[in-house]
Amino acid sequence: MDDIDWKTSEAAVEYPMALAAMETRVGQIRDGSAPEQVWLLEHPPLYTAGTSARPDDLLAPKQFPVFQAGRGGQYTYHGPGQRIAYVMLDLRRRDRDVRCFVRNLEEWLILTLAGFGIDGKRVDGRVGVWVDRGQGRGVAKIAAVGVRIRHWVTFHGTSLNVEPDLTHYEGIVPCGIDDAAVTSLLDLGVTATMAEVDAALEYCFRQVFLDDGLLEPGTTFERFAASRP
């Protein structure tokens, strides 16, 4: 994708390995020795604690490994069936506006969800993307956002629930919010492969972060979106 390295890992990546790789890449982006990167991956089941995590929000500390993430936010879950997007961009080349960057990440996810017929939205005072599950089930979180910025280079990023085991969230208070549920594409009745989700993410990333138009016609995402009612 132009001068951004778009990387996808097929096998699950251990969390410490991902942290180390991001640390290295952020340093390289800062000194100009490597291009910006978006890294799509999955993790084995685990919990991560952001810089605002409250100990009482870890309800089942022995269920999965727990890692200090160094990003903003509180506790969250990562695991199979969830698409992680680590976004390492140089804000010195863009607006040096952290709030704008976070909103752009949310907008990226909202556009991606729209391609699958899901109406993602923001909720005032809460970071991430939310949906109304319908049938009186209320609003639930489908995607989380947690970032860290060092010398204006971003890392960490977003997680989108495609088809994870939602019971795994029961071991934490997700993002410190105890009055809202979590959901996924599958929970909403949308069956999509991870490859289709990846294609949607790549397609919509260009609309939000780049100013050179969309991908060429015939992408996996376009074919998938065109086939949906």
Question: What are the catalytic residues?
Answer: 175
Report DSSP letters for 70-87, one per residue.
-SSSSEEEE-TTEEEEEE
CB-count exposure of residue 27 (10 Å: 0-12, 13-18, 19+):
middle
3-state secondary structure of 145: strand
- Tell me how crowded residue 17 is: count the other CB atoms within 10 A of its CB: 11
Expressed in percent and rounded to 5, the helix, strand and coil fractions of the chain are: 30, 30, 40
Strand pairing report for 46-49 and 153-161? unpaired
State the first-to-last Cα distance of the chain, in angstroms, to the nearest integer: 29
- Residue 96: what are its φ and ψ, rounded to 5°? -85, 70
Quote the crossing angle between the two packed helices 98-114 and 194-209, to the nearest 10°: 130
- β-pairing, 153-161 vs 82-88, is antiparallel
